[in-house]
Each structure stands twice: as C-alpha cells, then as structure tokens.
Amino acid sequence: MKNIYAVALVTILFASCKDGKTKTETTTENTMNKTENPLLIESKLPYGAPDFTLIKNEHFKPALQQGIAAQNEAVAKIANNTEPATFDNTILELEKSGTLLQSVQNVFSGLTGAHTNDELQAVQEEMAPKFSELQDGIYLNEKLFKRVKELYVKRDSLVLDPESNKLLETYFEAFEKAGANLSEADKETLKTYNTKLATLINTFNKTLLAANNDGALVFTNKEDLVGLTESQLKSLENKDGKGWKIPLLNTTQQPLLQSLENRATREKVFKASWTRADGSKNDTKTIITQIAELRAKKGALLGFANYAEWSLQGTMAEKPENVINMFNGLIPAATAKAKNEASEIQKMITKNGEDFTLEAWDWNRYAEMVKKEKYDLDESAIKPYFEVKTVLEKGVFYAAEKLYGITFKERKDIPTYHKDVMVYELFEENGDQLGLFYADYFARPSKRGGAWMSNFVTQSHLYNKKPVIYNVCNYPKPAEGDAALLTYDEVSTMFHEFGHALHGFFANQEYPSLSGTAVARDFVEFPSQFNENWALYPEILKNYALNYKTGEQIPQALLDKIKKAGTFNQGYSLTENLAASNLDMQWHTIAANANVTAANAFEKDALHKTKLDVVSAVPPRYRSTYFAHIFGSGYAAGYYSYLWTEMLHHDAYNWFENNGGLTRENGQRFRDMVISRGNTVDLEAMYKNWRGSDPKIEPMLKARGLK
C-alpha cells in the first residue's frame, strides 16, 4: 500500500458511466495473460515509469481486478496465519499486500484525473464499490485486527526500529478509525454506507466534469469580449469556427473577468460559473446532500458527534472546535479588510464614470484598476515576464537548486499520456539520480479542474524505488505559436505544486505507507505553501522573470512594485478562502439525523451565521455544488488545512529570513529535518525541533496585511 488509505483516496476520484460489457468479455479480461498487460509487469523505462506507448484503456479493468484479487488473497493469508503474530508476518506482509494494485492505481488515477475518457469513466463506475469492499474487507476483518492489536499492545517490547514502530502504530490507528471495534451488525451497516459513498462520490465527479465542460460560454459577437487581447481571443476561438468559447475553471471567479470590459459579459461569465452545477442537467445538489448525510451517519455509527470529529483524528487540528476557533479568530479581520477593499473599488467604479453597485463579477476588473492606481502595477505589464517553461526551469527548478542542490535535464525520450506533458529527470547535487518529474500545465476538457501532485511511482527503500512524480495545473493554453504567459497567481501555483513534488522527491522512507506526502492532511500543504515564498525572492525572481520576446530581466522598479503590492486584495483572498473552508466544516458537522432538504438554503445559512456574507461581492472560492475538494476528493472536513498550514509556512519563511535566507545550508537543514521525514515522526514535534519553537501567527498576519 502506498499509504494506509491509498485505495480509498483513489476511489473517491472515480467518476461514473455504464460499462455495458458482456459476461463473456469480462471473463476474457479477467484471464488476460500478464505478459499481454503492461500494467501487470515491471516497466522497462527509467525509474519504472509507466510506458504510455503500451498502456491502453482496456488494460485497466483486468489489471485492477487482478490487483484486488492478489490483495484479498494476501490479506486472507495474513489473517488466517496460525503462527503467533510478528511484525514481519503481519504488519510487513500487510504493507506488501497491495503492491500490484497500488502500482496499477497510480497510473489509473493519474489518467482519470488528467486525461480521462468514456471508457475510463466506465471502469471507474464499476470498480468504485469494489474498492470500497476491498477496504472494508481489510479494516473490518476481525482476525486481522486481532493480530495487529496484539502487536500494538506489546509494541514497546518488540524492539522495532523507529520507522517500523511508526508503521505498526499507523496501521493500528487506521483499523480503529475505520471501525474495527464495531459489532458485526454495525460493520455491515458501515459497509453499506461506504459502498454508497463511493458510488455517490464518483457520480459527483463525473457530473461536475460535465458541468464544467457544458458550462463553457460561446460568444459570437466580438464586441462582447472587448478588453481581451488578440492573443487571448485567438486562444479562445471555437473549434467549429463559430465565435469564441470561454471555458470554466473550477473556482468561482474566472480569470478573464479581470480583463472583460463589457459588464453584461462579466455577469454572464460569473453566473455561468456560479450555476454550472445548479439547476442544469448537471445538477449536483441532491448528490452533495446525500454525501453529507451519509457521512454524518457514518460518523455517528463510529461513535462521533459528526463526520468532522471522526475525520480529524490524527490531524494537527485534532477536533472541529479548534478549526472553528481558528476561523473565528480570522473572520473579523478578514471581512473588515474586505469591506475596506470594496469601498476602494466602489470609488474606482465612480471615478471611472460608471454608476452601479459593486458585484462579484466586477471585483477583479476594478480591483486591478485600484492596484494600478495605488501601486502603479498592471498585471498585463507583468505577464510578458512569466513564460511557463522559463518559470519552471529558471524559477521553480532554480530555487530548488539554490536550496537543495537539485539539477535537472529534460527527457524527450520518456513517453507521456498527452503531448502537452513535459518530463524532466532530477539529480542530487553530487549527480545521483533523484527521480522523474512530469509537468502537465494546460487545461483541456479531459482534465478535472484545479491543480495537484501525485506519484506514478512512490519512493520506498523496501522496494528500492525512486519517485516518479507529476504536477497537474489548468493554465489556459495559448493559441498555436503564441507564448504561454502566466499571471502571478499561476506562477505561485507552479511553485506550490512543486513544493508537494519536493516533499515526494525528498522522501527517505523504508515503507511506502509512510513515504513523502503520506502525512496528516493539515500538514501536507505546508511544504507546498512554503515553496511559494521563493517565487518573489529577489534572486529567484530576477532569474526567471525574463521578457519572453527580448530576454530582458524584469526591471527592478517593477520588482519593487510587485513586492509593495504583496498585501493588496488580501481581505478578499482570505474571506473567499474562509467562506469555502467554513462551508466544508458546516457540511461535515451536521448531525446524523439531519435532513438537508435544500442545499442552496443550507449554504446561505452557513455563510450568514458565521458572518461570511457581510461583503456580498466576495463569494466563496468554491460553491458547494462544485466544491470538488470536499465532495469529490480527499479533503472532506479538511479544506481548512490550507489556512492551518499557512501559519506554518509564513512562520517557517520567517525563520529563513532571520537565518540568512536562501542558502544551501538552510535548505539542507530544512530537507533533513522536515520534508524528508514523511510520516515517520510526530509532526508537531518535528516542526518545533527544526524551528526551535512553536509556530507563531504574527508572520501570517503581516503577510496578509492584517497586522
């Protein structure tokens, strides 16, 4: 197993569609010879990277089925072993039991997230409940749990090395969290809940992907799109030659709203985003209420007041009250700053000779005007210095070289799943191989929204594996022949996702279940958010911010303006994040007997009672109906983690600033003491040991302009 809940996390990314294959065809797939299926044999490519020249849609179902069968067989053998339980014959064998399945899942989840199709969606629908059954068959297996518990109880006398002891503790806690202590009757009820949830989550993902694609707007009148550059218009040209198509990104606000001059067009684009999964054929309201209600029942069955209370076990936050207290401490300052920003924007609207009240679809356009007036900073003046490949190689990679000694080489001989994907081999400072990195940056209809990192191959000394890692983003793809230019937010996202990648590349664990990013959800965002800090570090910025036409380095005057504007619009940014985080926590603290009859009313009430609706022009970053983090991915009751780890990353960067900044010594110390440790030590103690003290919130407040 890659980590204790790896199978479950892959399952929740599945979408749904009917397979329609006959029994004979299915039997044929099940008996496919291993040598005919590239997913069932070791790849001959460097690092064991998947060979996408050989892998076809029809390979996944039989490979997944064989992986499930192999793991079920291995688990049964462990559970039925008549010899006394030992670490080797129980915990280590359990760790090894899902090796084949995880290898297949790594590739399957990579494709279904970044480049899916009807056939893969059909496999997702069929396999989702089977993965739920597999998980339950492991963690609700009484004989297996008995062996694990016997070892856990006497762990102090087993004389295990620290990582092996941590693996034992992690497995025991996973069994308890999954319901191993329930009665047989309650286990059967839990299995029913889990199967239903797996199916509903897959349905949500498929429906949302369709909603995103169907929600794209087509304009046939060029006057509607005044404000967009010719390059932007060219990139939006409809494939059928009729007009221009504006696709929807997964967030509420859409990037082009900053440029569109026509207010009616802005309103149309915003409302298309806001209603994409509400009231259309791709409506998700019923799906999300069913998910939330089932999760509440699951939490109660497992002995907790609500799902969030159950979910937060093993996290740094520990319980919902601590998360809510964090929200309560930030909301007043965030909304007050947002109100001031709204007042400034309203004045700009009036100054611009227009007479209307600020709405959400106006914010980005007029905030940009305020920024230009206040800081003499124009986004359009910055973008020519942020060409995507230059940012990656001379910015993201360069920062990693300065901090950690990493070097890179592009590999054009490694096959990819899409022509837009770039592959790099990374090396240690001494030339040793570190791993392979896939960069998949441009949006397409076959890719789900958002940005993420994951592994095709997970680091493990047990299997002598080095990591193969990918980053996925959804930057607008330029027209053929045009430069791919980024906004600063998109640059920051690239640094963020590579921070996750570094967490995976620097993994130094024996066991894949504890490797790299297999940490508590409210810590996993720390290395990624920390890495964002280097995007504006002068030495790094000067190296990558090069004009794509002339190669000229970004002028110092423009650098100074970017830094000066660092706290601009932070009231808006923090409030939209708090609103989304609050919605997540509200959905997952409902009682088991709750009956949410109207999702929109629930959302409205949730924002009102927490005073996050006081600035009407600031909507949640994600509305409930398209909140994929919590209803389609692994962040249920966990979206708060972005804010939780923000405190850590600003505090950590403050340490760097006070200790010489960007140096190899500082980078190596951070790597050795923090991001190479995976889930092998207590995370709070690890951070404090590196930092020398508990984290402080003041650096975060300063960075947000709230202090």
Which residues form the catalytic set?
A: 497
Closest CA to 467 of 9, 96, 49: 49
| Helix, strand, coil in percent for the chain, rounding step 5 | 60, 5, 35
Which of 278, 271, 215, 277 has its CA nearest to residue 248?
Answer: 215
Which has the closest alpha carbon to 325: 97, 598, 644?
Answer: 644
Q: Are 637 and 520 in contact (CB under 8 A)?
A: no
Q: Token pair 């070097």 is at which residue?
A: 407
Closest CA to 49 of 469, 422, 427: 469
Which helix (H) or strand (E) segment is 321 a member of?
helix 320-351
State the Cα torsion 380-384-390-392 to the nearest 10°. 0
Phi and psi at 689, nearest 5°, equal -65, -40
**What does the DSSP 8-state code read for residue 553?**
B
Is the separation of the CB atoms in 643 and 495 below 8 Å?
no
Q: In 60-89, which positions are buried (b, 16+ CB within 10 angstroms) versus exposed (e)?
A: bbbbbbbbbebbbebbeebbebeeebebee
Which H/E stretch holds residue 24?
Answer: helix 23-30
CB 140 within 8 A of CB 179: yes
Sheet with 407-410, strands from edge to edge, namely 407-410, 422-427, 433-442, 468-475, 452-457
Q: Maximum distance among all alpha carbons in the chain?
A: 84
Structure tokens at 621: 């970053």
Residue 430's Cα: distance from chain center in Å? 32
Of 213, 242, 245, the residue nearest 118 (C-alpha):
213
